[in-house]
Structure 1
Amino acid sequence: MKTGGRTASFTLRDVVEAGTRIGLDQLSMQGVADALGVTTAALYRHVAGRSALERLVGEAILGELTLVDDPAEPAAAHLVSFAMQLRRFTLDHPGTGRYMQRLFPRGPSGLRLLEHQIIALGRRGYDPPAAVALSSAIATMAIGATVAEQERAALLGTPEAEETLAVIAGSELMRQAGAGIPAHTPEDYFVFMLTAAAEGLVTQVPPGRPVPAPGTSC
């Protein structure tokens, strides 16, 4: 955009703020340039490309996530709470899940979350390697499940979803299985799955034990 014959000026902070308003799920160089009223060529003078833009915006968004730790919770309950906080934040900030799945941590905000978990699990008797292993396992499952939940929600009411329901309805065995599963919400299922995972991980790596080598068990 030209203003009084001169190119509109903007800062890297303006870029991050515009990208944050757009959100990671819709983020693009063109979208940010349009939001700032500048050309993409001008934007490239501040940001090297789409990947660099995603990192800037992703770290800014993750900076809004403050993990809460209740020291009274045992390790498994803490891990479930950690998973729930990741789920809620990811649902509230579309695109954040994919950002964390691709590479993590990519900057200070992601690193801060990992360090929080090292300290929190350290209070429960875990050394840093075990804390990172447990937290990473839970985060991988929590974020993966939440991203899948978001993608399923986006398909509700579509022909693809109706076809899937028809396939299930066509199986007597699946109908019997479905009839025996109590009514539940996506969050109910998430808690069920992550609780089982957290309890299994804590059994495999109890406080004070090192992370077992591949192919071994505690």
Structure 2
Amino acid sequence: MKTGGRTASFTLRDVVDAGTRIGLTDLTVQGVADALGVTTAAIYRHVPSRSALERLVGEAILDELHLTDDPDEPTVAHLVRFAGQLRSFTLGRPGTARYLQRLFPRGPSGLRLLEQEITALGRRGYDPATATVIASVIATIALGVTVAEQERVSADDPRVIDELMPLKAGSPLLRQAMAGIPDHTPEDYFVFMLTAAATGLVAQLPPGGPIPVSVT
């Protein structure tokens, strides 16, 4: 966007669009400036800091997430669906899960998603306070598992796996354990874990019941 020694005009929308294309994992003010062909000083005339840039880009990405809810679905199944939607969305957008982990909601898109889930749980008899606790717990678990899954994939070095195989083979107890675990995908494991967590959570926090002091 530099022509004839002068910086061509660009808008905040251009900054956000460039940041979205870069993605949250690799997002920097310099990267956005390079993508637009301008100086970092020009970027800072639109956004005051890298943190503000991250929030703008993060909220723009979250604006693409639209949660679905079947009102006839039981609470546990609904929570697993909610968690699965978070996983699917953030897996395809590296850095988004960590963005959600750090502080949520940080803007209008995040607020919309939280309100949608509170409303969905309200249809199942939950008051807003209890719904917020349940949604927060499920989201925390789902995002933590997703981040771990992403980091495991990025660090999937065959050399490391080759080094671990003899270690596992040298443990009769571990060989016995591994032989008894059915083949499963990361998604299978995710659904199993979130189903167990949601089942326990719903048992602890039934509709109309008090919120235990230990979770506040």
Please state which band the TM-score falls in when normalised by the shorter chain.
over 0.9
Instruction: Answer whether contact 1:20 1:61 (CA < 8 A) is retained.
Output: yes
Aligned match of 2:137:
137
Question: SS where residue 118 of structure 2 aligns?
Answer: helix
Q: How does 1:1-218 map to 2 (within 5 A)?
A: 2-214=2-214
* TM-score normalised over the length of structure 2: 0.95
Question: What are the Cα deviations for residues 63-96 of structure 1, in whole angstroms up to 9, with x where unaligned?
Answer: 0000000000111111000000000001111110
| Partners of 1:158 and 1:54 in 2: CA distance | 33
> Mean Cα displacement is larger for which, 3-12 or 184-193?
3-12
| Partners of 1:15 and 1:168 in 2: CA distance | 49
* TM-score normalised over the length of structure 1: 0.95
Identity across matched positions, percent: 72
Q: Rate the CA distance shift 1:161–1:53 in 2: closer, same or farther, 3 A.
A: farther
Q: CA RMSD in A?
A: 1.5
Q: Rate the CA distance shift 1:165–1:136 in 2: closer, same or farther, 3 A.
A: farther
CA drift at 1:214: 1.1
Question: SS where residue 124 of structure 1 aligns?
Answer: coil
| Partners of 1:162 and 1:147 in 2: CA distance | 24
Contiguous gaps of at least 5 residues in structure 2: none
Question: SS where residue 121 of structure 2 aligns?
Answer: helix
| Partners of 2:169 and 2:41 in 1: CA distance | 53
Question: SS where residue 70 of structure 2 aligns?
Answer: coil
Give the letter for the 1:125 counterpart: G
Give the letter for the 2:101 counterpart: Q
| Partners of 1:67 and 1:149 in 2: CA distance | 22
Question: What are the Cα deviations for residues 19-51 of structure 1, in whole angstroms up to 9, with x where unaligned?
Answer: 011111111111110110001111111111211
| Partners of 2:168 and 2:9 in 1: CA distance | 57
Give runs of ≥4 in structure 1 deviating > 6 Å.
none
